[in-house]
């Protein structure tokens, strides 16, 4: 059965909270949260964001994402991207990013879609350029352990790959 998506519901929250397997994974997904991810932390983030979306395969939740910024005829920023541990490496992340990108261009007539990835998130750094995202800025951040890390901001324009 192909992947599907739908708006998040309160019943999804407990399952989604189990996806980050450690503090580093949670930092990649949701830098402001503290491990372990709680229903309160995730519910608060969802309330402050738009288009919070659950991704399913065979009627089982396998991913999540939303927009932390969504401007009509402007920029939409994808955030809180996470894939269930047992669904990783199966194309779920690609489906999530492509679905959210299409939503930005179709529903918001976005001029660009942005996504950000920490320098230590090798899977994201390898995936996003394959989906047409190109780096445009690097921001210094601090990891939960207090180390310097780079948050790489990437963009994909409405005209297609990298534009």
CATH of the domain at 37: 3.40.630.30
Whether 101 is covered by a domain: the verdict is yes
pLDDT in tens, 28-73: 999 999 999 999 999 999 999 999 999 999 999 999 999 999 999 9
Q: Which residues contact 28 (CB under 8 A, 6 or more apart)?
A: 117, 118, 120, 121, 124
Q: What tokens does 122 get? A: 């090798």
Whether 110 is covered by a domain: the verdict is yes
Sheet holding 134-142, edge to edge: 4-7, 50-57, 60-70, 75-83, 112-118, 148-157, 134-142
Note down the domain range covering 40. 4-157
Whether 84 is covered by a domain: the verdict is yes
Q: Which residues pair with 70 in a beta bridge?
A: 76
Whether 95 is covered by a domain: the verdict is yes
pLDDT in tens, 95-120: 999 999 999 999 999 999 999 999 99
Cβ 52 vs Cβ 81: under 8 Å: no
Q: Count of domains in the chain?
A: 1
Whether 25 is covered by a domain: the verdict is yes
Q: What tokens does 149 get? A: 């890390």
Question: How far, in Å, CA of 111 to CA of 83, rounded?
Answer: 27
Whether 8 is covered by a domain: the verdict is yes
Whether 32 is covered by a domain: the verdict is yes
Q: Residues of the chain with pLDDT > 90: what percent?
A: 96
Question: How far, in Å, CA of 68 to CA of 70, rounded?
Answer: 7
Whether 162 is covered by a domain: the verdict is no
Average pLDDT of every residue of the chain:
96
pLDDT of residue 158: 75
């Amino acid at each position: 059965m192909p992947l599907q998506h739908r708006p998040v519901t309160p019943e999804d929250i407990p399952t989604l909270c189990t996806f980050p397997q450690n503090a580093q994974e949670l930092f990649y997904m949701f830098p402001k949260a503290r491990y372990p991810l709680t229903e309160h932390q995730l519910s608060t983030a969802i309330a402050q964001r738009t288009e919070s979306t659950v991704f399913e395969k065979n009627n089982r939740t396998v991913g999540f994402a939303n927009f932390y910024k969504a401007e009509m005829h402007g920029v939409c920023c994808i955030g809180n991207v996470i894939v269930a541990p047992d669904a990783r490496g199966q194309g779920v992340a690609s489906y999530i990013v492509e679905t959210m990108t299409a939503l930005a261009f179709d529903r918001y007539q976005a001029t660009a879609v942005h996504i950000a990835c920490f320098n230590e998130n090798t899977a994201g750094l390898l995936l996003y350029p394959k989906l047409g995202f190109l780096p445009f800025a690097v921001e210094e951040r601090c990891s939960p352990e207090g180390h310097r890390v780079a948050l790489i901001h990437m963009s994909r324009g409405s005209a297609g790959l990298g534009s």
